[in-house]
Structure 1
């Protein structure tokens, strides 16, 4: 749960893919797959906890509460969590960062707002008063030039990395990279994105990208599988035709989580 581990990924010379998780079981599966960091998105929390769209219904306290339930399954793997609401002022921002840190969250993925100066003030407060949390800040300018200026301001305020929302093509990322040499870039591979072929990891790394977020891929896959199971049970009385996790693998997920906790405790003791 170390922010230092997350920051190490940001200064590496390669891309790290960061999948979304939403509960202890999905977190344990991400560990088992060999990932080095995971992401808890506001959209995943809104869907799985509230059954609602990601329109600000999920409070920061709910994200922190959910994080506290799943970090045990991560065994020390860094967790990056969305911070869309709950930090209207610098003081509120510090409170949110502290609450996230207590829950075991290593980094915040901060949303942007219309007033870039207010966003920068919050970053200054969090970077100064909660230095143990890594700050990844989204930038949403009206065009690429405005986005670059916001990225520059947020990096100067203390952000450890920036996520230029409208920059996902090579030319756009290249402009951001040229304007902010040495500042790690993060991109989000939204499930709704359309366009041409995606950039390869090597191409992204050359453009300064260090993290690629996949916030909803796992939860969408899980919901799709569940919908097929429910349909099969309704139509056939069983779910045998649907590919599912073997029962034995399901049973070991909790064992894996417990082993991760024990290992983390042993590291602290030594």
Structure 2
């Protein structure tokens, strides 16, 4: 199966998949090494990692696509990529979907925020009118259909941020229309209570994703509860980024005192990066054995 079909098979299971989110090839590789079934390239974390800037629409389409391609090449599990608003009008959305499919992503997320977009749990969010939001998802579905003629495949994760400005009823109405237009996975961002999360799953068809930001607006419910409510995916977009940043700051401060706490053993570090595999495989080629 290709990665898109592998993602479909995961979504068909009667469970809620725990999905740590990555931000570069190394974090994606660690997620795969630890046995997780899928991952998501967090736009927030990728922006912080790649350009050292907040997730406020500063990364370009080309930068995001390059980051996703690097991750997809490094992992053998399905990767969902953050396609933001599609980087323009409906024709840009088509190009965005094609680009992520050709980069090896199993799915791409397209959202209804006004550009430049904002992190879903920060101030200043606004969404485009319904017609424009629907055009984006229609264009994404059309691009997916055209890709099949090239032997490529990708799923569409449709996100709405309408809860912030217009309330949960509008967000659910938009997501329901996204499903009718061909979205494979629905994502209503930033519900503010367990009751709202239950409404989302009860009133919307197909697979739904919960987005759990530690300290964000959505309740951080146990995975078993998310499964019982009806979510198919529980995404944790900042857990690894927050852990990595905290570890780096702690180490940088400790180094002033000639301490380096909590370091990964050098042998394990080499193994996880891929040195051991490289040396093993290179033994088949006389010109590559040095090292």
User: Shorter chain as normaliser: what TM range?
Assistant: 0.7 to 0.9
Q: Distance in 1 between matches of 2:230 and 2:244?
A: 32
Structure 1 residue 30 displacement after superposition: 0.7
Q: Name 1:58's counterpart in structure 2.
A: 59
Quick one: distance in 2 between partners of 1:12 and 1:183? Answer: 12
Between the aligned partners of 2:23 and 2:73, the Cα distance in structure 1 is: 13
State the match for 2:228 in structure 1: 206
Q: 2:87 is matched with which residue?
A: 87
Task: Note if 1:161 corresponds to 2:161.
Answer: no
Give the CA deviation at 1:103.
1.5
Q: Which residue of 2 aligns with 1:255?
A: 274
Structure 2: give runs of 5+ residues left out of the alignment. Answer: 114-127, 146-152, 282-291
Report the CA distance between 1:6 and its aligned residue.
1.5
Deviations 1:155-194 (A, max 9, x none): 11111111111335332122223322x4211010012326
Q: Secondary structure of 2:177's match? A: helix
The DSSP-based 3-state class of the residue aligned with 1:183 is coil
The corresponding residue for 1:71 is 72
Q: Any idea what SS the aligned residue of 2:232 has?
A: strand
Look up the SS of the partner of 1:104 in the other structure. Answer: coil
Runs of 4+ residues deviating >3 angstroms:
256-259
The alignment partner of 2:104 has SS state of coil
Distance 1:258 1:147 in 2: 47
Give the number of equivalent residue pairs.
254
Shift of 1:256: 7.6
Q: 1:56 to 1:11 in 2, by over 3 A?
A: same
8 A Cα contact 1:6 1:106, kept in partner: yes
Root-mean-square deviation (CA, aligned residues, Å) is: 2.1
Long gaps (5+) in structure 1:
263-270
- The structural deviation recorded for 1:195 is 7.5
Q: TM-score, normalised by structure 2?
A: 0.81
Going from structure 1 to structure 2, the CA distance change for 1:161 and 1:41 (only over 3 Å counts) comes to same
Partner SS, residue 94 of structure 2: helix
